[in-house]
Amino acid sequence: MSKAPQSIVITGASSGIGRALALELAAPGVSLGLLGRQEAKLTEVAALCQAKGAVVQVGCVDVTDATGLALWFKGFDEVYPIDWVLANAGVTASIGPDGNLEKLAEAFKEMLPWRYGNQMRAAQKVDKRFLVPNTPFSTITVNRNFRTAAHYDPANMDDGFANICVFSNSDSYRGAYLVFPEIGYACNIRPGDLLFVNNMAGLHGNTELILDDPNAERISIIAFFHEGMLTLGSWEYEQTRKAFVEQCRNDVNHPYYKPRFNGVYPGMWTDKAWYDFCEAKLGRAELLKMHPEAEQSSIESFFG
């Protein structure tokens, strides 16, 4: 079972929803970073949270001060590695229907530059053809009017963040909250919002989506770096693997063939058929670079 987030930053924490969230989440074992512009009110909220057992660090920082905000976040994260950021005040980047994923990455870099840096350094280790250009994103998930079941995402970087935003052609819908049932939290992500979350930290899914307008569309986009990308070979090697899977999928004489066979079968990447295919496409040097065990396999085959 997942544990509740232990390090949480809340912007706009001096009043309103931000204040209410801080008081609700304050508890022994929880570290809160509270940001706001009203120092007296922020100090009052901090004292109330400390009385409930939380460790509290405040920052009287204007969210339009990108440099000051980044320095505060970096300092807090170094002491209390952040699990969640709840932004109740911020600067909206152009990530709406006329925006693009590069602008989403720019917002990520502006708000959480050290986490962006972690993700970008990992992304730079793989062939850029595996990435969304000029971003640290390798993987994009798009859901249209879709309710996801509760699930885990084990592949997102632990020291990066998934970026989640929502677009809609109408505000005439209800529900579709992002929920973390094990810890009792939910987020109502609306069009124009941007949520940074370590989505591998807990079980999560969506509540029912209710369309008050039958023509309404709610589209969510989740952009992140898949840690599995760090285990890939070259672009050419991975394209060859894809071609081998397709060949197997379409081979009605394949030992594992059956209706809806997807081309993947047990032990396929140590199968002589794959070694032969790889060598034919990429040459023996590339085969042995990626599969040094193929040399031993061929010797054993030669001697029977």
Do 137 and 224 meet the contact criterion of CB atoms below 8 Å apart? Answer: yes
> Residue 44 has what pLDDT?
95
Helices 293-302/272-282 angle, 10° precision: 110
Q: Which residues contact 83 (CB under 8 A, 6 or more apart)?
A: 5, 6, 7, 8, 198, 201
Who contacts 303 (Cβ-Cβ below 8 Å, separation ≥6)?
none
Q: What is the pLDDT along the chain (304 residues), one digit of tens a residue?
A: 456 678 988 888 888 778 888 998 899 999 999 998 888 999 999 999 999 999 999 998 776 677 787 788 888 988 998 888 877 655 444 444 445 788 889 888 887 888 899 999 999 999 999 999 899 999 988 899 988 888 887 777 777 888 888 888 888 899 999 988 887 778 888 887 788 887 766 788 999 999 999 899 998 988 999 988 999 999 999 999 999 999 999 999 999 999 999 999 999 999 999 999 999 999 999 999 999 999 875 555 544 4
How far apart are alpha carbons 41 and 230 in whole angstroms?
A: 46
**Coil, helix or strand for 82?**
coil
Q: Which domains does the chain have, with CATH numbers?
A: 1-91 (3.40.50.720), 92-232 (3.60.130.30), 235-302 (no CATH)
Residue 35 main-chain phi, psi, to 5 deg: -115, 140
Taking the CA of residue 277 as centre, how many other CA atoms within 13 Å lie in the half-sphere pointing to its CB? 19
Q: Indicate the SS3 state at residue 35.
A: strand
| Model pLDDT, residue 93 | 46
pLDDT of residue 230: 92
Q: Biggest alpha carbon distance in the chain? A: 83
- Residue type present at position 223: A
Instruction: Provide the angle, in degrees to the nearest 10, between the axes of the packed helices 235-249 and 272-282.
Output: 130
Q: What was the pLDDT predicted at 123?
A: 94
Task: Return the closest-CA partner of residue 145 out of 168, 165, 171, 179.
Answer: 168
Q: Which two three-digit tokens encode residue 10?
A: 């809340």
Instruction: Tell me the backbone φ, ψ of residue 271, rounded to 5 degrees.
Output: -85, 140
